[in-house]
């Protein structure tokens, strides 16, 4: 009388184990597929995010034929003068722009730092407000205030090994060895370098935006700026390789699946063995 009961209980146990296993995949699937489902998104988003970086300034928003060239003086009066003064002389809300140079204006507008919304905040990178033609017009208008200043650089491919050394000595202390950026004192931030175009990198080096020091030609030659720019571009592409590889992210999920399949096979064997024992 006892034996069949024990057999039944064993069988019930076996059925429960199988049911659990059957439910297992359903319960596990969302967590294993989630990373897979999420992975394509960054890969799809990144090229779009990088697009402005890849497009040379001149190629953006070609003016339709018949459209008048943007009026730099008018744009300036409407969006800049309240902080920088009608003649770029500066106000309490913004510094003088006399003599900052085309590279500074192109950098500030091309990285979307200007027009600033709140002069008490450190300017940060944004989608540019102006088209390439409008930026060129504003660059010309600010240059008309006089004073010279660094021109817009035209970086050429350089030597990344030399660039690495220049970067380690001059840039890594603030932007970190990988270019990911760091927090400075007084709540200021040295931003990550992953989105800047080659021209913007060279501009930042020559201009020294905000708290960043400028590196004029007496400190770094044009050739050294080329080396540096090529190295920062390499850092950018290395970061893309690490962060954007979907197979790399699938790794853990695939490993989990393999472990789960092996576990499943072992359990099925064990349950079968229990079942045959119970049948006896």
* Interacting residues with ligand HEC (CB under 6 A): 79-80, 82-84, 93-95, 97, 100, 104-105, 108-109, 111, 113-116, 119, 122-123, 125, 138, 142, 170-171, 173-175, 188, 190-191, 193, 195-196, 200-201, 204-205, 207, 209-213, 215, 228, 232
**In angstroms, what is the minimal distance from the CB of 39 to ligand HEC?**
25
**In angstroms, what is the minimal distance from the CB of 82 to ligand HEC?**
6
Contacts of 62 (CB under 8 A, 6+ apart): none
**In angstroms, what is the minimal distance from the CB of 167 to ligand HEC?**
6
Contacts of 238 (CB under 8 A, 6+ apart): none
> Is the Cβ of residue 133 or residue 196 nearer to ligand HEC in the bound state?
196
> Is the Cβ of residue 32 or residue 165 nearer to ligand HEC in the bound state?
165
Would you say the C-alpha torsion 202, 206, 208, 213 has a positive or negative sign?
Answer: positive
> Is the Cβ of residue 84 or residue 278 nearer to ligand HEC in the bound state?
84
What is the CB-side half-sphere exposure of residue 136 using CA atoms within 13 A? 13
**In angstroms, what is the minimal distance from the CB of 95 to ligand HEC?**
5
Long-range CB contact pairs, 11-18, < 8 A, 24+: 11/275, 11/278, 13/274, 14/271, 14/274, 14/275, 14/278, 17/267, 17/270, 17/271, 17/274, 18/268, 18/271
> Is the Cβ of residue 14 or residue 202 nearer to ligand HEC in the bound state?
202
C-alpha span between 101 and 146 (Å, rounded): 9
> Is the Cβ of residue 160 or residue 253 nearer to ligand HEC in the bound state?
160
**In angstroms, what is the minimal distance from the CB of 23 to ligand HEC?**
49
**In angstroms, what is the minimal distance from the CB of 35 to ligand HEC?**
29
C-alpha span between 70 and 80 (Å, rounded): 15
**In angstroms, what is the minimal distance from the CB of 260 to ligand HEC?**
43
Nearest to 114 by CA among 243, 209, 213, 217: 209
> Is the Cβ of residue 213 or residue 251 nearer to ligand HEC in the bound state?
213
Buried b (16+ CB within 10 A) or exposed e, 231-260: bbbebbeebeeeebeeeebeeebeeeeeee
> Is the Cβ of residue 5 or residue 186 nearer to ligand HEC in the bound state?
186
C-alpha span between 3 and 82 (Å, rounded): 94
């Amino acid at each position: 009388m006892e034996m069949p009961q024990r057999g039944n209980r064993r069988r019930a146990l076996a059925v429960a184990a199988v049911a659990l296993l059957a439910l297992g995949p359903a319960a596990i699937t969302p967590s294993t597929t989630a990373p897979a489902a999420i992975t394509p998104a960054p890969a799809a988003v990144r090229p779009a995010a990088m697009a402005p970086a890849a497009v040379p300034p001149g190629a953006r928003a070609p003016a339709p034929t018949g459209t008048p060239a943007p009026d730099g003086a008018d744009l300036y009066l409407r969006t800049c003068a309240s902080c920088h003064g009608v003649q770029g002389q500066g106000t309490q809300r913004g510094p003088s722009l006399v003599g900052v140079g085309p590279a500074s204006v192109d950098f500030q507008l091309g990285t979307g730092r200007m027009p600033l919304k709140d002069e008490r905040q450190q300017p940060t990178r944004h989608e540019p407000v102006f088209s390439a033609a409008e930026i060129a017009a504003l660059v010309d208008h600010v240059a008309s205030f006089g004073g010279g200043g660094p021109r817009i650089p035209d970086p050429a491919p350089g030597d990344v090994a030399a660039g690495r050394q220049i970067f380690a000595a001059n840039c890594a202390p603030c932007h970190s060895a990988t270019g990911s950026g760091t927090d400075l004192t007084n709540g200021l931030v040295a931003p990550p370098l992953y989105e800047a175009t080659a021209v913007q990198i060279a501009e930042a080096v020559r201009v020294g935006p905000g708290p960043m020091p400028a590196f004029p030609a007496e400190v770094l030659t044009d050739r050294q700026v080329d080396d540096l720019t090529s190295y920062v571009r390499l850092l950018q592409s290395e970061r893309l390789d690490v962060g954007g590889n979907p197979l790399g992210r699938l790794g853990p999920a695939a490993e989990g699946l393999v472990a789960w399949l092996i576990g499943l096979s072992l359990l099925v064997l064990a349950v079968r063995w229990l079942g045959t024992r119970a049948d006896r």
